[in-house]
Structure 1
């Protein structure tokens, strides 16, 4: 009975958080999915990535940078393409640690869509700060995962700021250290798995980084 009550509470808190996201107008330079084409392609999830895989009981919670820009959101009708190179690579990395994508909770450090037409366009520190403090922290509390994985420098620094964690600001240094504990979860910052990030961390090295996570599952 207690497990059922816990699940009901978790679902309610998530719905309330999604409603807050839909109503959020804090940031400038991004658009909330709820106002893009009057919410035609928005969903009852915090983010399109979460709509793809958003298991509220997941042991592994993964945080990316941002989903993309407004035009891409409209073009894809708010849907995730599993064959997108980054998503494809994520599935491969998850397989290395023995985790199915459907057993994860995926979200982004920025929940709204950039107004720029460049998928890899610049992001503002205020966007990370606002989403981190108002949404990301609560997502982590609701899911209560065992493992948190941040993809790339910006999500890494967002979590570092939100939880006031004292560690190096250099992602490469932190990857080599023991996982940091956040709400009893082990936090593993890794490099982004997109093609551009492979210039900073070759794919083979990234596979080693992910393989290390498996020892803690």
Structure 2
């Protein structure tokens, strides 16, 4: 479970609070620059809030002894050195958390990169880099996934695959936090952030309300100019 409790950061975030629960995909939605990535970075211990707390299974990220076994995160790019192969990058990450090498082949197969395992990360397309980043996030078979704009760079087939993957993760009981500016997503719960403040949250149906679509509700909540 993910808990964000009154998190603030000067001029960026203002008392942001929400939860992402097991067995559900929570869409953290907002226009570009709304504060989504800043919130995710605080959750993952990459930035510090000026107030509030962000925890994963009731613990801050920095206190997790083997973080890859608790939370898998996908941020910008793959995180791999351009000169390293996909397999070498994953081997290094597995060693850092004491994970078995056998898991490397498993995650490469899950994300569809088995045939590109020996290819250098610097030669990957944007979509392939996102898949490699996802493979790294899955190495420890974590119960929590935090994915920031995971659809970036994916072709239509990749988008279809990602949508099914997210639904499957929730069906397995994982907590999935999906940060995106896109709206046509397979989400159970929705948190809408705009200009650093949460402006709506609840189930997808609750946030949609009387609007014809989630997109219409989003535009009403954030303003067409922001979108």
Calculate the TM-score normalised by the size of structure 2. Answer: 0.28
Calculate the TM-score normalised by the size of structure 1. Answer: 0.29
> When you count strand as a share of all residues, which structure comes out higher?
2
Question: Highest relative contact order (Cα 8 Å, sep 6+), 1 or 2?
Answer: 2
> When you count helix as a share of all residues, which structure comes out higher?
1
